[in-house]
Structure 1
Amino acid sequence: MQLTHPQFIITNAFSHGRRRVAVLAATVALVDFLSFRQAFGLNLFLLSILLTFAILISARKPPHPITATVYLSLSAIASAPLLEAPTASGFIISMAAVILIALKAAKLLPKRPSAIPLVLLRFMPSMLTGLPKTYRRYSRSLSGRTIFGAVLKSLTGWMLPLGMGLVFLLLFSAANPLIEMGLHNIDLRFMLNLLDISRLAFWLAAASLIWAMIRPRLTPKRRRSSIDPVGDSPITGLLDHRALIRSLAIFNLLFAMQTALDLIYLWGGAELPAGMSHAEYAHRGAYPLVATALLAAAFVLIAMRRGGPGDASRLIRALVIAWIIQNVLLCLSSILRLDLYVEAYSLTHLRLAAGVWMGLVAIGLIFILARIALRRSNEWLISMNLLTLATVLYFGAFFDSSAFIARFNVENSLEFSQYGTPLDIHYLASLGPSAIPALDLYLSAAPEDGDKRRLASFARQRLAFPITSRPQAWRSWSYRQERMKNYLLTRL
């Protein structure tokens, strides 16, 4: 029989489909064992490796051992932040790596890196719809009978043997006390756990996501209309050559005024009007100025679109470049404003995240400047911004922000350094066990009989108790928690 015979191809495809279903069932069972109703930790790292392994063994053509080793190594490197601590950013990066490996194994990953974001957007819908579509597609067997009917027929063939076997077993139990005792010792309560609604929902969600990984599909591309939708939109229709020049001239003047005020009062330290402090001046402008920069970036992308009036005009390009430079200075001013505000009112997670966000906006504006100067596409711009965001998320997952914030607030508190703001013990305790070293630092310098010292000591004991008194499950292990446990053991 020829290998290209249609019946052989159909049989081979059906066999591969059954192998995928087996891999799906095994992976769902392992995911349930690792993560259902378990605290997050080492299980998230193992989950990403498990998904990568499932992708490789369910591929239509299994990859070469060296290639498989490379994929597993890349997945392990991308998931390494999860060994440090189970953070959201680390989980996002690890799952992004698994998705890229799935697309690469299925030969759906484009050769141009700049085209990857669009492919990821086309893949996302299949994470929710892939399994239902596959079920509808394969709801009928090769002979036309439904799979449900085939399964029912198979079960019917087992009904007589199992039924008669149960009858004989009951008769033997009545005749033999040892068999009766053995039947009574069988605990069937685990069957009730399998019927838990929340567990069934977890299995369904896990199966949908896993199936999307082992059988990735992309939504079809939309056909481009012969009429440019951007050029015919009501907004861009107003942005002709004259309107763009007028808009950019006004915008540059307004931004120059704001930059001049920042140079005088923020960077130069000039005295503000009566009743206004530098902290208030900084706080009032930190977040609105970032929103202004984002709005300016959107305007630039529309104004400098391919084939638009701004694409060929040197004057418009010069005005846009000058405006982007002013926006970058605006972001730097926003970071300085935030620094002054933190100096006056201490550091929080939101303020730290705002500083990182402002830095990302500034980098994004520089990429827009590079796009205009190098005449790159918006696809390139999106890819560079996503790469920057992924890099920040990856390395940020190793960073213990709670420990940094707690130590910063203690070292810059009024009680510890004789300047700054009074230390907020309640906020420090809300940061979790990572704040314990900072609390120890504060307790080493706090007065022996102060109320705040007693509050800090109580908060320290409350944070340390779960770590030192309760055994930790291996599935929820993390290197950060292990370090904290060792730290506490050395200070008992």
Structure 2
Amino acid sequence: MMTAPMPRAYGTNRIAALLAVVAISDFLIFGQAPGLNLFLSVILVAAAILLSARRRAPPWTAAFLFGLAAFAAAPLIETPSPMGIAVSLGAIICVALASAGLVPHRLSGLPPVLFRFILIVPLRLLQDCQKHLAWRAERSSFAAIWRNLGIWMVPVIPASVFLLLFAIANPLIEDALRRIDFAFLLRFMDLWRIGFWLTMAAFIWAMLRPRLKRRIVQRRAADTAADPAEIPFLTHASLLRSLLLFNTLFAIQTLLDLVYLWGGADLPDGMTHAEYAHRGAYPLIATALLAAVFVLIAMRRGGPGDKSPLIRGLVHVWIGQNVLLCLSAILRLDLYVEVYSLTELRVAAGIWMGLVAVGLVLILLRIVLHQSNQWLIAANIAVLASVLYLSAFIDFSAFIARFNITHSLELSHEGVPLDIDYLSSLGPSAIPALDLYLSALPEEAVDKRHRALSVRQSLAYDLAYRPRDWRSWSFRSERIEAYLRSPATIER
């Protein structure tokens, strides 16, 4: 009787690559501060994917994919950051999909493929283990398992007895056994370490054997696919009235911003421009996001908005007003920063507002060029990835520290006093800006000078006593250390 065939072989090279990458990642990452080790890990995973692929890619293709992973991981050499890690993971996923031939021919098809792949990543290793064990259970019987155990029990038990006798008879063997560091071996039984191994193994195995989650919803028949589903109450008449009302409301808001925000007209008594700016920055971005969702629903292909030139014109005007709304929100944030200084959250808010404005422009292009929503998602992913990649190279802490110091009351004689406590939370990157602050402070400002010196010394101490292992090296920390070692800095 023929036995069931084994599921498609996982390949010795893939299992070897998995074990090797997990072991090297343990050496590079576990128990170490993030730094150069993250970049090396990305390069390692990319190499493992390309070398263990079922079908080897042509040399030029493999070189391109490897170069893509290295280029995406370059921000991790500058400094380890969430943005750099996110871009690197995205590049690794693209390399894995490309090595398995799962990358769609058009960029607009990439977002759903990425989504289907990410959904299956956490369970890929578990599913393959279950399949393998099920296959083993079908082929194995209790007698066969007992026979395999007996094959190993017969030599191991007598060998252990012989080793014990030799240790009693030979002091050299006894001394060698006593020198075995069981404490070192027990270190590898740490629960956190085992969790790290399992997490790395699950991620790497999914990269080595990429698969996409099966589609749950089947494609509709051709006759029904051509007719989009109707949305209740979103008819031509309701859509036209909605856009007229929305454009009127947005026009009022835009006019108020043009008069008071851009024109600088006097506000009512008791209200400052800073308060006017602060209260509107974030709600306006939420308004623009809701407007974008409404436009996507209203202008779906085959819907009432897609067939009416009047509605299309009103949508174009409304998107333009939303872009102005985003620019007003950015200006509001700028005015608020001038009064209350800059923070990391406000920098992130400014970048986010810019992304929302670009997204609205892309929605307009999607309507004008008659593109699909997949095209829109792909374009937004490309913009987001580019912004994340470039932002990963920027030392925002140093930028914020210098901005707050140069615009502080002590140096510019306007604005608010410097928040030295917030500067201390920015890390060693704030040291050059603190030196500028100390050099500009008058001699009589003893308390401020003492506080600034205390913060600077604390930041320099943290940098000096950070982990010195080569795995934790980063270019940004090296630059700051070089600055502190420079003769001009030492003489201060």
**Does the alignment reach a TM-score above 0.5?**
yes
Map 1:103-252 → 2, pairs under 5 A: 103-141=97-135, 144-146=138-140, 154=148, 156-221=150-215, 222-225=217-220, 232=229, 236-252=231-247
Map 1:353-392 → 2, pairs under 5 A: 353-392=348-387
Separation in 1 of the partners of 2:85 and 2:244? 45
Q: Which amino acid aligns with 2:305?
A: G
Q: Which residue of 293, 299, 304 maps to 1:304?
A: 299
Map 1:358-437 → 2, pairs under 5 A: 358-437=353-432
**Cα distance change, pair 353–276 in 1 and its aligned pair in 2 (3 A):** same
Q: CA deviation at 1:483?
A: 0.6
Q: Which residue of 415, 436, 442 maps to 1:441?
A: 436
Q: CA deviation at 1:193?
A: 1.4
1:294 match: 289
CA contact (8 A) 2:281 2:329 kept: yes
Q: CA deviation at 1:142?
A: 7.2
Separation in 2 of the partners of 1:447 and 1:229? 75
1:45-78 C-alpha deviation (Å, 9 max, x unpaired): 0111111111112211222333322221111011
Separation in 2 of the partners of 1:279 and 1:418? 18
Q: Root-mean-square deviation (CA), in Å? A: 2.3
**Cα distance change, pair 153–122 in 1 and its aligned pair in 2 (3 A):** farther
Separation in 1 of the partners of 2:366 and 2:243? 18
Separation in 1 of the partners of 2:462 and 2:145? 50
Separation in 1 of the partners of 2:374 and 2:142? 46
2:473 match: 477
Map 1:462-473 → 2, pairs under 5 A: 462-469=458-465, 472-473=468-469
2:12 match: 18
What SS does structure 1 have at the residue aligned with 2:305? coil
The reply to whether residue 79 of structure 1 matches residue 79 of structure 2 is no
Separation in 2 of the partners of 1:128 and 1:424? 44
Aligned length: 482
Q: CA deviation at 1:237?
A: 1.4
Separation in 2 of the partners of 1:257 and 1:308? 29
Give the stretch that moved more between structures: 435-444 or 154-163.
154-163
CA contact (8 A) 2:33 2:467 kept: no
Q: Which amino acid aligns with 1:288?
A: P
CA contact (8 A) 1:45 1:80 kept: yes
1:285 match: 280
Q: Which amino acid aligns with 1:343?
A: E
Separation in 2 of the partners of 1:342 and 1:148? 73
Q: Which residue of 460, 469, 473 maps to 2:456?
A: 460
What SS does structure 2 have at the residue aligned with 1:376? coil
Separation in 1 of the partners of 2:24 and 2:142? 26
1:46 match: 40
CA contact (8 A) 2:7 2:135 kept: no
Separation in 2 of the partners of 1:61 and 1:152? 39
**Cα distance change, pair 148–321 in 1 and its aligned pair in 2 (3 A):** farther
Separation in 2 of the partners of 1:258 and 1:471? 53
Q: CA deviation at 1:156?
A: 4.0
Separation in 2 of the partners of 1:392 and 1:148? 59
Q: Which amino acid aligns with 1:481?
A: S
Separation in 1 of the partners of 2:308 and 2:431? 59
Identity %: 56
The reply to whether residue 320 of structure 1 matches residue 315 of structure 2 is yes
Q: CA deviation at 1:93?
A: 0.6
**Cα distance change, pair 452–228 in 1 and its aligned pair in 2 (3 A):** farther
CA contact (8 A) 1:140 1:147 kept: no
Give the stretch that moved more between structures: 276-285 or 59-68.
59-68
CA contact (8 A) 1:371 1:377 kept: yes
Give the stretch that moved more between structures: 223-232 or 60-69.
223-232
Given the two structures, how large is their TM-score scaled by the length of structure 1? Answer: 0.93
CA contact (8 A) 1:139 1:147 kept: no
Q: Which amino acid aligns with 1:360?
A: L
Q: Which residue of 332, 340, 348 maps to 1:345?
A: 340
CA contact (8 A) 2:235 2:304 kept: yes
Give the stretch that moved more between structures: 331-340 or 173-182.
173-182
CA contact (8 A) 2:84 2:389 kept: yes
Q: CA deviation at 1:129?
A: 1.3
1:270 match: 265
